[in-house]
Structure 1
Amino acid sequence: MVPHTDHGPAGHCRPGTGGRVAEGEASGTEDRKPKSDEAHSAFAVPDGVGVEPEATEEDQPTSEFSVPDGLASVAVEPEGSAFATPHTYSAAQSPPAYTGPAFPVSLTKDSLWQDRMRTMLRMPVDVRPVPEPSQKIAVESGPAVGRVLDLTLRIGELLLAGGEGAEDVEAAMFAVARSYGLDRCEPTVTFTLLSISYQPSLVDDPVSANRTVRRRGTDYNRLSAVFRLVNDISAHELEISLEDAYRRLAEIRRNRHPYPGWMLTAAAGLLAGAASTLVGGGVLVFFAAALGAVLGDRLAWICAGRGLPEFYQFVVAAMPPAAMGVALKLVEPDVRSSAVITGGLFALLPGRALVAAVQDGLTGYYITASARLLEVMYFFIGIIMGVLVVLYIGLQFGSSPRPEEALQITQRPALQIAASIVLVFTFAILLQQERSTVWIVALNGGVAWTVYGALHYAGEVPAVPSTAIAAGLVGLFGQLLSRHRVSSALPFVTAAIGPLLPGSATYYGLLLIAENRLNEGLASLTNAVAVALAIAIGVNLGSETSRLFMRIPGAASAAKRRAAKRTRGF
């Protein structure tokens, strides 16, 4: 075969190479073709244009940030971290910290810890004063951050489980943390979750911890004990170590209820009987209402022991009082059976949860307030379902209740005042209140009902404003009593609003719904909700009024507490 002798472009095979040709060889002069006129580079200098001489170093522009002549000998500080301690700073002679604008508040040691902590929580973080730890802490080791945070969360858990408002729980947690030297801490409280974060310094990682409230119950005796513990920890004249605080907290958890179970059941029956007398019932109605409430309480305890949710417990507890009222109406048509059912409703209406929900909403804790209002709604729906089922069955058996008699309350001032005092007394026992405060709360409730009766019956003021005014007095007196005893305000407020609860309006609306008069029934239930909200707002307004105008011990006359929180809407 004749070898192929084509002289192709560089990189192709030529005869005798065996298919391997080096790159350098392909660029030889013997294989290079002359370039045409069109093969010039687009960046080449055109013909006829002279080439300028190369610019010298003096002609080049200099940087605006370069060191000027004559200053080259100055030593330049090497660039370091933005979080490093400045070389001009010393711990012994530190510059004064920025404190921000002055707030007209008093944070003296003589003030109650509730006022001091609530005031600092309402301040921006950068203007809070540096704390003076109430408890002695080893300087070389510093505070035990993990144990302090755990103790703070455990105390907050007991307060939140006892029904305390979110702001008061945060104030207590803040007080405990600052008393043990943790100043840069932020507590956060929601409906079932408590969390707290601590920032040791600007360059250290934050430490966070949280705790979930699984079970909630009403025990104001335990609540008062926790408040005393927080007060002792915050006091400068007392020295309570972490071990002592843990020991006292364990004793509070193990503390038994001040009243046995049989007394609680008897108190529930006596409360329903007193409530039936309050709305116009007689002796027979009193015992029927008491028996129905006792049966409902026992059934609710059985359901709780079986692990049923609280919603079903309210449904079951509402049935026996309604059944007693229907049965009494079938046997004695002339008896006031509506008072039996109304008395049973007084023992079930969730006034405590409603007051706490509205208080959280008015103080800016909207998530917790929404959750508590939803809880109140579920409880209220459970009561409605239990009563409606019994009323519907009673109508099928020929029971002919008169809805109008539920609102026709006979005015018996002396008997009604006595019944209101008994109602509050038994309500305080159901709330597991301290024995020494039961009589004080009963007197507060009697005064509240007297004011309501004077405004509504004698003065013919509508029910909603009369209830709000009476509840405001309850909140005012409750706050004064709590400050006098350095305790929570809930034990002095919750039971005292018992006579003001809208039992009659609730029963009237349910009975109308059972008779298929939906529009009138819903209107009556709406009125009951308005009365309940008036109670909650009145209690909160009375408490805030006492804080606003009361002089703080040890404070100057010009230094008064700001009632507004955070902003005024802008």
Structure 2
Amino acid sequence: MRTLLRTPMSERPAFERTEREGRPETGSRNVPRILDLALRIGELLLASGESAEDVEAAMLGVTHAYGLDRCEPQVTFIMISISYQPSLVDAPVTADRTVRRRASDYTRLAAVYRLVADITAERAGVNDAYRRLAEIRRNRHPYPGWLLSLCAGLLAGAACFLVGGQLDAKAWLVFATAFIAAVLGDRLAWLVAGRGLPEFYQFVLAAMPAAGTGVILALAGPGVGLRGSVVITGGLFALLPGRALVSAVQDGLTGFYITAAARLLEVLYLVAGIIVGVLLVLYVGVRFGAQLRPEQSLLQHSYPALQLAAAMLLTLAFAVMLQSHRRTLLLVTLNGGIGWAVYGALTVDIGVSPVIATGIAAGIVGLFGQLASRYRYASALPYVTAALGPLLPGSAIYLGMLSVAQGHADGGLVAVSRAAALALALAVGVNLGGEVARLFMRLPVGVGAGTAAGQRPAAKRTRGF
């Protein structure tokens, strides 16, 4: 469907129609229903975090399967539309839909992709597709809210082992402290979300418990052995919007600049909320004499086996928080472990720069995720997003905020710039891995007939030269 989307309308092949397409459901009177079905499917995909290109490809595949060849979908951050022109002399039929609610439910996303696959394979009529889509909308989330809160705490606790790299007498106390702080922050965010407070303030409040707990541990004195910097960093891992960042960069790389700019602005607001929440607490803590020494507690690859297990546990907790289907949990956990192992081998054994190592590790995660999704005929997001969790720049962001709170603005700017470079490498790497995987995939029948066998036509995303 991507190849069909990247081909101009005048060059798209007119596939031979089957017996099903002669039925009344593909007649002109059914055009508004087909367009509405494509819009509703696109709305669910976009609300789940899919890239704009994949949303347009799915919408185009649905309309093409029902006999509407001359369709042009268009996706922005909050609005999707589709236009169908029966012929050059007929007036086009256009419909649009606004995306008002966004939620991370990868189980629902997988169900939508199965529906799209059945539609494009001509196994579902319009009425059947509407019925299945209504069932997908009505289905409840696979995991209850209390389990998501526990997974948020588990993610923060695993991140403590990941960035602390120590397994001593106090390590489990640090884990428990980070766990409780993350659960408290998650519940606090849910409480204010129910009151209709914007997401910016939700992230401000959600970041405060972890920061406050870290400051309290630092005020207790270094003799206690509870590493406050590790607790704060673990809390950041549970809040960073990695999914939105990857989608923003992917849209930018594929030519959807308006959607990419909107998504990137959303990421900036959410990260700004985290920074404000942590900075407020750190500023008060430093004024009261809290001695936060991240150089003594944030270690890199001290215990590789422990950190690998922590990375896989973090990935598993992240996948549950994203409402991933149970059948994908094992693969995404292994993918996260592979990504972290590659990053550790590059930085420790070879001495590669962390930014380059992050990009390479993210590329491998994207490659394996894309291949797994093609094997399962599903979206790549459930196999990729959670696996990127261990590579998020939580430590760099914390170091930047701590430097600012201590009055070292120059050092804070350097650390934040490093975090931005790591985040960009992460997003570009995972996109490149997905593109590399597609180089070895077969073309759909009838597409690219004018090219050499096995060769994929160039993606005409921009004007080019």
Instruction: Give the counterpart of 1:442 among 333, 347, 350.
Output: 333
Q: Does the 8 Å contact 2:229/2:298 carry over to 1?
A: no
Asked if residue 211 in structure 1 is aligned to residue 102 in structure 2, the reply is: no
Asked if residue 357 in structure 1 is aligned to residue 248 in structure 2, the reply is: yes
Q: Greater Rg, structure 1 or structure 2?
A: 1
Q: Which residue of 2 aligns with 1:321?
A: 210
Which is worse superposed, 369-378 or 275-284?
275-284
Task: Report the secondary structure of 1:136's partner residue.
Answer: helix
Query: 1:549 deviation in Å?
Result: 2.5
Aligned AA for 1:274? A
Asked if residue 480 in structure 1 is aligned to residue 371 in structure 2, the reply is: yes
| 1:81-230 equivalence runs, <5 A | 117-133=1-17, 135-138=20-23, 142-143=27-28, 144-230=30-116
CA distance in 1, matches of 2:300, 2:462: 46
Instruction: Give the counterpart of 1:290 among 167, 179, 184.
Output: 179
TM-score (norm 1): 0.77
Aligned AA for 2:318? F
Query: 1:212 deviation in Å?
Result: 0.2
CA distance in 2, matches of 1:332, 1:154: 56
Instruction: Give the counterpart of 1:511 among 394, 402, 417.
Output: 402
Aligned AA for 2:89? V
Instruction: Give the counterpart of 2:317 among 408, 426, 445.
Output: 426
Deviations 1:411-454 (A, max 9, x none): 10110011011000000000000001101100110011011001
Deviations 1:367-391 (A, max 9, x none): 0001001110111110000000000
Stretches of structure 2 lacking an aligned partner (at least 5 in a row): none
Task: Report the secondary structure of 2:312's partner residue.
Answer: helix
| 1:235-384 equivalence runs, <5 A | 235-236=121-122, 238=123, 240-280=124-164, 282-334=171-223, 335=225, 336-384=227-275
CA distance in 1, matches of 2:337, 2:120: 35
Task: Report the secondary structure of 2:222's partner residue.
Answer: coil
Q: Which residue of 2 aligns with 1:68?
A: none
TM-score (norm 2): 0.94
Q: Does the 8 Å contact 1:407/1:505 carry over to 2?
A: no
Q: Which residue of 1 aligns with 2:455?
A: 560
Task: Report the secondary structure of 1:547's partner residue.
Answer: helix
Stretches of structure 1 lacking an aligned partner (at least 5 in a row): 1-116
CA distance in 1, matches of 2:44, 2:210: 33
| 1:69-84 equivalence runs, <5 A | none
CA distance in 2, matches of 1:180, 1:142: 9
Superposed CA RMSD: 1.7
Aligned AA for 2:115? L
CA distance in 2, matches of 1:152, 1:208: 12
Query: 1:472 deviation in Å?
Result: 0.4
Q: Does the 8 Å contact 1:475/1:493 carry over to 2?
A: yes
Task: Report the secondary structure of 2:407's partner residue.
Answer: coil
Query: 1:559 deviation in Å?
Result: 3.4
Higher RCO, 1 vs 2 (CA within 8 Å, ≥6 residues apart): 2
Q: Does the 8 Å contact 1:406/1:507 carry over to 2?
A: no
Deviations 1:190-223 (A, max 9, x none): 0010000110122221110000000101000000
Query: 1:497 deviation in Å?
Result: 0.4
Aligned AA for 1:337? G
How many residues are aligned here?
Answer: 452
CA distance in 1, matches of 2:333, 2:426: 17
Q: Does the 8 Å contact 2:301/2:348 carry over to 1?
A: no
Q: Does the 8 Å contact 1:118/1:168 carry over to 2?
A: yes
Cα gap change, 1:488/1:140 in structure 2, threshold over 3 Å: closer, same or farther? closer
CA distance in 1, matches of 2:331, 2:299: 31
Q: Does the 8 Å contact 1:424/1:496 carry over to 2?
A: yes
Query: 1:137 deviation in Å?
Result: 3.8
Q: Does the 8 Å contact 2:26/2:67 carry over to 1?
A: no
Q: Does the 8 Å contact 1:162/1:217 carry over to 2?
A: yes
Cα gap change, 1:177/1:289 in structure 2, threshold over 3 Å: closer, same or farther? same
Query: 1:119 deviation in Å?
Result: 1.1
Q: Which residue of 2 aligns with 1:466?
A: 357
Task: Report the secondary structure of 2:21's partner residue.
Answer: coil
Query: 1:403 deviation in Å?
Result: 4.0
**Identity percentage over the alignment?**
64
